[in-house]
Amino acid sequence: MSSVPERSEIDEQYTWDLESIYATDDDWEEAYETVSERIEDLQSYEGRVTEDAGTLLEVFERYEEIMREVEMVSAYARMRRDEDTTDQHYQALTARAQSLSADAQSAASFIEPELQELTREEFDEMVDEAPDLETYDHYVDDVLRMKPHTRSAEVEELLADLGEVTGATGEVYTLLSNADMAFPTVEGPDSEAPRASDESSGDEPRDGEGVEITQSNFTNLLKRPDREFRRRVYEEYFDEWESMRNTVATAYKNSVKADVKLAQARNYDTAREAALDGPNVPVDVYDTLVDTVHDNLDKLHRHADLKREALEVDELRMWDLYMPLTGDGGPDLEYDQAAEYVVEALEPLGEEYQSRVAEGLESRWVDVYENEGKQSGAYSGGTYDTQPFILMNYQDDVASMYTLAHELGHSMHSELTTEEQPYVYSSYEIFVAEVASTVNEALLTNHLLETVDDPEFKQHVLNEFLERVRSTLYRQTLFAEFEHEAHRLEEEGEPLTADRLDDLYRGLKADYYEPAAIDDRIAREWMRIPHFYRAFYVYQYATGISAALAITDRIFEEGETAAEDYLEFLRQGSREYPLELLRVAGVDMSTSDPIDRALETYGDRLDEMDDLLG
């Protein structure tokens, strides 16, 4: 039986270099103790934040020093835990780091309420007295903007103290899905030859052999050519979720309830309004996305019909959705080759950008392969004072290559922001972050279609583009509808039971995938989506890919000028609000134009694939 390797079996060159943060756990402990003591320093400023310009500048600088240290302590613990989520030692370090972060936020909770006692004119006068305060101009503007939704210092401190509690459901879900749930082993297909990636990924079945389902390899297994094998994987996987349905439904219900209560505590009418107001994104942007996607569901339906025809089946089933239009899982693609393709694809962004990505890959930014207990999925992490870090579960396929390009986009966004901006503007919003990642994907698609000679490989690249739009623009919008409706039901007092959540999700899936057969198991798919524990987050993937495709088109049409505009956008961090930042790159997300353009490109690519398959 194939199995996932232990952490110790992974070659060091394919692991991230967390020792660059703290060489040992003892060094982490020392840093933890030091910053724990420093947190108390903040409290000496309570009641004095705005007494004069010098004190205000001191408060800003002291807060930043402490939070930079807290973030390093937290990042190290979290990433060590993610290497093996069953490791009790790093679970404990992560819990301590989370408590430390909550303590720091609580200790600083008086700062913004006191800042809001200022008028804009008074702050401008302080800038005249202490010119270094000019750095904080946009930050102060943002704080003053939030005054109607900021409570007294006492309430803010209480809300900060409760942060660990209100976020507990997400932590419970993470441990349940990654550490405690044991997915079954299914019988492998009888007729498939083993692939070269069997040894490295541990998820590909050999003839007549069983394969262990994991969170990381589930969708990859649904790309296997043997339809009966896909059905077995699909059914066994979702049956395991069914055994946890009441636990997961309770966790999600309480996560939604926390979102609603916190929004009410801050004088918002809805949880969605509260979530979008943080980055200053109008709710209309969310609604425009949903409406525009619904107006273009016919393209998704066409994609489903093409898939049914390519698979030569009478009815498309839910275990068929991840199958490529090319009819199989695609060519094996080792990590080193994928990394080379990605670096080459970034040439339109200039030699400096390209070479820095190459250097990062050599400097162990990436934790490449899946291992036993590792956090599923992929992300880009790190802090203002560290190199970027990327967690992956690379599966030796084209999709994993695109994931690498995606996460490198995030990492380079952080690198350019850190170089250009002070700490206060280093934490850019997700709304713009997903643009950087998806521009890299779009550049990769264009590069491969133009330079690779193998027609079969080109078909798989084109298929990957179509799947990325399907899963990023359409699927994430479906998720956005689901969580919006779930929060609306909670706000109107309707119980969020497992049955009600199943019914809600089933109805959306039926709308989006009208040509396919909807079964009871797919109604449980909402249970496997970790992003739902960060409310109103996923819609930004859909807006991000829309903006990214528009930016990429402009780069190819206008060349160096457009590329420099895009790089300037990356360097800005959170110096401006998201919609204003995107205008620097030539995109206006207050309209439906970028979404329409992305969906038009999707339709054109469907035509191209239809011709190739014809």
CA distance 298 to 231: 26
Q: What is the DSSP string of 376-440?
A: PS-EEE--TTS--EEEEEE-SSHHHHHHHHHHHHHHHHHHHHHHHS-GGG-S--HHHHHHHHHHH
Q: What is the DSSP string of 20-70?
A: GT-SSHHHHHHHHHHHHHHHHHHGGGTTTTTSSHHHHHHHHHHHHHHHHHH
CA distance 543 to 466: 16
Angle between helices 430-451 and 335-345 in degrees, nearest 10:
100
Cα four-point dihedral sign 566, 567, 569, 570: positive
Total residues found in the chain within this entry: 614
Which residues lie across from 359 on neighbouring strands? none
Burial 89-112 (b: 16+ CB within 10 A, else e): ebbebbebbbebbbbbbbbbbbbb
Structure tokens at 248: 């997961």
Let me know: does 476 contact 434? Beta carbons within 8 Å: no
Given the DSSP bridges, would you call strands 389-394 and 366-369 parallel, antiparallel or unpaired?
parallel
* Burial tier of 280 (Cβ tally within 10 Å: 0-12, 13-18, 19+): middle
User: For residue 118, which amino acid is it?
Assistant: L
Give the active site residues: 407
375-380-386 Cα angle (round to 5): 115
Burial 327-339 (b: 16+ CB within 10 A, else e): eebbbbbebeebb
Q: For residue 529, which of 488, 468, 490, 476 has the smallest C-alpha distance?
A: 476
Measured between alpha carbons, how far is residue 477 from residues 32, 460, 503, 512 in Å? 40, 24, 18, 10
User: For residue 360, which amino acid is it?
Assistant: G
Measured between alpha carbons, how far is residue 406 from residues 75, 412, 434, 469 in Å? 20, 10, 9, 13
CA distance 311 to 289: 31
Residue 102 main-chain phi, psi, to 5 deg:
-65, -40
CA distance 175 to 101: 20
Let me know: does 535 contact 256? Beta carbons within 8 Å: yes
Residue 609 main-chain phi, psi, to 5 deg:
-70, -35
DSSP state of 150: -
CA distance 470 to 477: 10
